[in-house]
Amino acid sequence: MNKWLDQIKKCTDCDACLAVCPTYKVTGNLLFSPKGRLKIAEEVLERKDITEAAITASYNCPKCGACETVCPERIEIGRIVAEVRNNIVEGGKGPLPAHKKVIEVLLEKGNSVNGVPGNRLAWLPEPFQPRESDTLLFMGCLPSYLVKDAARYSYLALKKLGIDFMILEDEGCCGTYIYESGEVALAREYFRNNVERFKTLGITKLIVPCNGCLKCFKHFYPEVLGTVDLEVRHVVEVIYDRVKRDPGLITRIDRKATYHDSCRLGRVEGYTEEPRELLKWCGVEVHELPKSRQESLCCGSGGGIRSAFKELSFDIAKNLLEKTETKELVGPCPFCTFNLGYTNKQTAMNKEITYITKIVWESIRDASDMEG
C-alpha cells in the first residue's frame, strides 16, 4: 500500500487539528481542514478520484504545519497534501490557473513575482561588485523585488558583521513555487540546474532571508534530488551566532515590538528563542501574540495559497493582525512581511510590519556611530 495511505488510515478523527488550522478557523468548512484534506487525499491516492472539491481543498492549504504539531498519530499532512497536488498535476487537472501563470513568469523572467530581471539588485545600496566566495547570500524573489528591506538590511548587516559572502546579479529563483504547485517533474529539472550552477561557481553554503527559499533548499531539494551538498542557513541564524560571540557589535535601541514566529523558521525548524534573544540584545521589548513558537499563527501566504485564494489569505492575515497589541510587528519571513503589510494597508490598522534584519542593522549602525 502507498505509504501515504498508510498514514491517512491512522487518523482517529480526534479533531485536534481543527482547533489550529487557519483555513478551517476562517471558513468553518470541514473540507478546508486537515481532517477534510486527509479524506480527499484518500480518494485521490487510492481511487484517483480528482474532483473540483479535491482540487480546491488541496491547493488552499497554506502548509503551515500547525496540524502536524497537534496530531497524536504524527501524520505528515503537509507531505500528503504535496503528494495529492502532484497527483492532480499528473492527472492533467493542475496546477490552478493562477499557479500556472506564476510558473510561466518564473521560467521566463527568473523570478516568481513578475519582476524586471534587470532590476533585481535595485535594493542594493551601493554599486554591485562581483566577488568570489563559497557562500552565497541568496535573496529570493520577494526580498529582491517586493520586500526590499529584507534584502537591503540583510546585506548591510552581514557585511558590517564581517561575514564572508557573495551575491549574484542574475540569481534566479529557488523554484519553491514550482514544487508547491505539484509540478514535481519540472521542479526536479529546475532544482538540478540550480545545483549544477552552484557547483560551477564553487558555492557550498547558502544564506537565505526568505523562508520559502530556506524550506526549498533545505527540504525540497534533498526530497526531490536526493543528497545535495549545500549547507543552508537562515540569515537570522548567521547573525545571531556572530553577535553571540561578540555582543559589543550592537547597541540598544529602545522600542516595543511583537515577534511573530513564521511557520517555516519557527514551527518547522524550531528556531524560536534565538530571534527573540537577538531582538532583546538590540534593546527591543519583545511582546508575544496569544499563540507563539510551535503554536504560532499562520500569516496565510504559504503553500501558494495567496496567488489563488487571495481573500482567504487576507482573512487569515487579518486575524493575526487583530491579535497584535503593539504598533510594530516584526518577523523573519518576507512572505509574512508582504502579506501582513498588504493586509495592514487594506484594513488601515496602522501597524508597522518590519523584517527583523532592519532592526538588527539599526542597532549595528548605532553601535558603529558610537565607536566613531
From 57, 90, 123, give the residue that closes a domain. Answer: 90
197 & 180 share domain: yes
Burial of 245 (0-12, 13-18, 19+ CB in 10 A): exposed
47 & 141 share domain: no
From 44, 68, 90, give the residue that closes a domain. Answer: 90
103 & 234 share domain: yes
The residue whose grid cell reads 504545519 is 65
187 & 251 share domain: no
CA–CA separation, 226 and 245 (whole Å):
34
How many domains are contained in the chain?
3
Q: What percent of the chain has pLDDT over 70?
A: 98
Decide: pTM greater than 0.95.
Answer: no
213 & 195 share domain: yes
CA–CA separation, 254 and 318 (whole Å):
27
Task: For residue 264, give the 3-state DSSP assignment.
Answer: helix
8 A C-beta contact, residue 248 and residue 321: no
Phi then psi for residue 352, to 5 deg, are -115, 120
CA–CA separation, 269 and 287 (whole Å):
21
Residue type, 18: L
CA–CA separation, 74 and 81 (whole Å):
15
From 238, 262, 277, give the residue that closes a domain. Answer: 238
Q: What is the pLDDT of residues 145-181, one digit of tens each?
A: 999 999 999 999 999 999 999 999 999 999 999 999 9
Residue 67: partners with Cβ closer than 8 Å, 6 or more residues away: 17, 20, 21, 34, 77
Q: What is the pLDDT of residues 229-266, one digit of tens each?
A: 999 999 999 999 999 999 889 888 889 999 999 999 99
